[in-house]
A and B are shown apart, each in its own frame.
Chain A
């Protein structure tokens, strides 16, 4: 009997019934609902909604904020789709248009600030606080989404982790607007995007390390 035949015998002997994963869109929706509920709770408890309502009335900020949230939601949906073997890799493109709108409108409002406010448009603002906020929100959310995504044992775990982390960090940047009572400066925007890149790279690193350790155990 050849090796492949023996392997099949071994796999069949160890085969137990498995629980099928629910459709990825449903899993993404449930995750987003849970995170959304927690986010709304936190915002109602801690944010100054009157200031936010005043700021969001401005269309440029509304577009930027909307694009941030849409990027987060679409990246989460894409990550759940990409975690399955037979889903098209084109899902990876899903959040990119809104990401472009977000960075474009954010960059434009920075530029306008710079023109109207002068060199202070370049100042640090409260970037350090933004960084801490995005990181503090992203880390627990990243852990929860990585756990959810790894249930599918993705064939390309790095791409899935990167997409999930982009979603998480974008949602965190969206939530930040409730606690950010000023327009972003160039540096603020760079810090936001840099922090998101950091979260994405961090998630990839965690994924890679855990893949190595599980390979070492195997």
Chain B
């Protein structure tokens, strides 16, 4: 970093301390890449670097009365940035040591009733077995209408049975499957 930037930041901060909001905004926007560079030494993810930047900006705002304009600005900002970056690292490692992360935890454990319906059908083996155990006419109706997704007329042509018979067979098959799978 060149001496001009250093002096400009120092001047902007001194003006900001006196209440100059334009100078303050200019300074805060200019220092973001500097903070990001320090944060990148400890953090890889963009989100975490962003967290450090925001934490540092908040700290700079809170402690801006401690900056002495007769001293260089960069070491003051660098000290705050390093400190906050390490603080975030510690917070992360503390929470990582205490918490387990399981993306499916809510779906799986939060409400035992919530997943029953999908879990029953989640096993394709169980469903295949259940279909295989149906009487021949019902099994054929399920295969044609549900698995091969034919219309009633198409299925009627393929099977040689009436639409009404197919309707009855598929209705009974679904009922039988529901009872069998729920009962497991």
Residues of A in contact with B (beta carbons under 8 Å apart): 3-4, 7-9, 11-21, 23, 84-86, 152-153, 155-156
Contacts and interface: CB of A to CB of B under 8 A. Distances in A.
Interface of A: prevailing SS: loop
A152 B21 CA distance: 22
Contact of A15 (B24, B54, B80): B24
B17 A155 contact: no
B183 interface: no
Nearest to A6: B54
B28 A11 contact: yes
A3 B32 CA distance: 12
Given A11-B58, A86-B76, A155-B59, A18 B83 contact: no
B24 A12 contact: yes
A13 B18 CA distance: 14
Interface of B: 16-19, 21, 24-25, 28-29, 32, 50, 53-54, 57-59, 61-69, 71, 75-76, 79-80, 83
A17 B32 contact: no
B182 to A, nearest CB: 48
21 contacts: A4-B32, A4-B50, A4-B57, A7-B54, A8-B25, A8-B28, A11-B24, A11-B57, A15-B16, A15-B19, A15-B21, A15-B61, A17-B17, A18-B65, A20-B65, A84-B66, A86-B76, A153-B63, A155-B63, A155-B79, A155-B80
B71 A86 contact: yes
Nearest to B36: A4
Contact of B54 (A3, A16, A153): A3
Nearest to B80: A85
Q: Which of the listed residues A4, A16, A18, A86 has the most CB atoms from chain B within 10 Å of its own CB? A: A86
Contacts of B79: 85-86, 155
A16 B66 contact: no
Nearest to B67: A20
A23 B57 contact: no
B5 to A, nearest CB: 17
B109 to A, nearest CB: 29
